[in-house]
Amino acid sequence: MFPVSVVIITKNEESNIRDALKSAEDAREIVVVDSFSSDRTVEICREFTDKVFQHSWEGFARQKQRAVDYAEGPWVLILDADERLTPALKTEITESILNTDYSGFYVPRENYFIGKWIRHGGWWPDHTLRLFRKDRGRLEVRKVHEKVVVKGKTGYLKNPLRHYTYRSISDFTKRMELYSTLAAEEKMKNAGKTGLFSLTARPLATFVKMYFLRLGFLDGARGLVLAVLYSYYTFLKYARIWERQL
C-alpha cells in the first residue's frame, strides 16, 4: 500500500481523472472534492474511492483545504486531475516519510505542453510543496497560485510528478482568461498605479526571461510559443488591473 492520503479537486475532468486516479489507486485513501461536475467525473471517481464529496466552488485554496480536511491519514499528497504519480515517485515518498523530522516535501514536476516535456523556460524542475503532514500544513488562501504552508522543516524529492498541462493552445488561452482575472484581483490588494510601463515592459520582461535567460529557445517551437503566451498572460493581468483603476 502507498501509505499516503491522496486528495484531488475536480470540475468536469472526465478526460483526465481516470489516469490520475489509476496512478494513485494503491494509496491509503483517495479523497475527491468535486464542484458539481456535469460530465462523468463523479462516476469515474467512484470506481476508485467511496470518499467523493460535492461542494460548491469556493476558490482553489479553500477547495483543496476542504479535501485535505476530509483526509484521515497523517500524510497528505495533493494531486491535480492532470497529474500522474509514477512508481519511482511513490517508492521515494514511502521511504521519505518513514521516521522523518520533515513536515513536508517539495516535489518536482515534468510539465508537458502539447505532448512534449518542456525542460527549459522555467518549467523544470518546477518544485511544488505537495506532500505534507496533515497536522503541520494548510493551504494559504489566495485567488490563484495557491500554495501549502507548513510548520517545520521541508525537504526535496528527486522523482517527479508528470503534469500533462495545456494539451493545446486553445486550452492555454481558455485558462488564461480565468487565471489572468484571478491574478489581477490578487495583485490589486497591493498594486500601485498601473500604466504604460507595466503594460509594455513587464510582458517584454516575461518573454526575455523565459525565452532567453531561462533557455526556452532550447525547447524549439514550443519554447517560443510558451514565451509568447506567457508574455500575453502578463499583459492581460496588468491590463485588467489598469482597467479596474480607471
DSSP one-letter string for 17-40: HHHHHHHTTTEEEEEEEE---SSS
CB atoms within 10 A of CB 218: 12
Residue 133 forms beta bridges with which residues?
75
Q: Is the pLDDT of residue 153 over 80?
A: yes
Could you tell me which residues are beta bridge partners of residue 137?
150
Say if residues 87 and 19 touch (Cβ distance below 8 Å): no
Of 47, 50, 60, 48, the residue nearest 10 (C-alpha) = 60
Terminal-residue alpha carbon distance, the chain: 56
Predicted pLDDT of residue 190: 73
pLDDT of residue 188: 81
Counting residues of the chain whose pLDDT is more than 70, the rounded percentage is: 100
Please provide the CATH number assigned to the domain covering 2-163: 3.90.550.10
Stated pTM of the model:
0.94
Copy the grid coordinates of residue 198.
Answer: 507595466
Q: Look over the chain and give the mean of its residue pLDDT values, rounded to a whole number.
A: 96
Q: pLDDT tens-digit profile of 53-107?
A: 999 999 999 999 999 999 999 999 999 999 999 999 999 999 999 999 999 999 9
Amino acid identity for residue 167 in this structure? R
Q: Would you say 175 and 91 are in contact if contact means Cβ atoms under 8 Å apart?
A: no
- The x, y and z cell numbers of residue 172, run together, are 492555454
What confidence tens digit (pLDDT) does each residue in 191-241 have?
A: 678 889 999 999 999 999 999 999 999 999 999 999 999 999 999 999 999
All structural domains of the chain with their residue ranges:
2-163, 169-244
Of the pLDDT bands very low, low, confident and very high (cuts 50, 70, 90), residue 186 is confident
pLDDT band at 132 (very low <50, low <70, confident <90, very high): very high
pLDDT tier at 144, thresholds 50, 70, 90: confident
Angle at 19 between CA 15 and CA 20, to 5 degrees: 100
3-state DSSP assignment of residue 144: coil
